[in-house]
A and B are shown apart, each in its own frame.
Chain A
């Protein structure tokens, strides 16, 4: 059975979702790549930001 860390799990999630969003939400390959990267950065960036926020709230 696969036991990824929380970080590895959300990076995997962000990767798969960003590829699908990039391909389906834009028309041309360069825009697809740009949008996919944008989604990936937003997924991972927001998760890291929220994690730090929860870390400080918990203290």
Chain B
């Protein structure tokens, strides 16, 4: 079966990890740096939307590692980059989850972080020419 070859983007000069770091710190910024405006905007809206829905549901921002689950949740939360540090600074998010909706909110925040890491790695792949 004949397949159409996919044109890969050419790697450019400069600091190769910049889109990865920018994409981690600000959702979608890695793609914006590479002038992928549409993809960056959709990623930004999706990740920010998920994070804000999580906060609006009263989700918890994990601040300490008391047990292994807390540690994993905190690692996920850290994936949101600057949003995590901003939340810590502003005191956003619940201290404890007491209702089911709050628990869903906490999961939304963790998954927003994990999705942001995937998006940042995608920006890095675009930057290195591994992806079109």
A residues with a Cβ closer than 8 A to B are 1-4, 9, 12-13, 15-17, 19-21, 23-24, 27-28
A23 and B50 form a contact (CB under 8 A): no
Q: When the two chains form the complex, which single residue of A2, A15, A23 contacts B39, counting CB atoms closer than 8 Å? A: A23
| Contact B6–A19 (Cβ < 8 Å) | no
Pairs across A and B, CB under 8 Å, 6 listed: A1-B58, A2-B53, A2-B101, A15-B46, A20-B118, A28-B132
Minimal beta-carbon separation of A40 from chain B (angstroms): 12
Q: Are B6 and A28 in contact (CB under 8 A)?
A: yes
Whether the pair A16, B46 counts as a contact (CB closer than 8 A) is yes
**CB-contact partner of B42 in A2, A4, A13, A19, under 8 A:** A19
Complex CA gap A24/B43 in Å reads 9
State A20–B18 Cα separation when bound (angstroms).
Answer: 20
B88 at the interface (CB under 8 A from A): no
Which B67-87 residues have a C-beta within 8 angstroms of A? Answer: none
CB of B96, distance to nearest CB on chain A (Å)? 15
Q: Tell me if A's interface is mostly helix, strand, loop or mixed.
A: helix
CA distance A27 to B39 in the complex (A): 11
A35–B108 Cα distance when bound, in Å, is 22
Sorted nearest first, the 9 A-B pairs with minimum C-beta distance are A2-B56, A24-B122, A16-B50, A19-B46, A20-B115, A16-B46, A27-B132, A27-B6, A2-B57
Cα of A24 to Cα of B131 in the assembled complex, Å: 9
Q: Are A17 and B111 in contact (CB under 8 A)?
A: yes
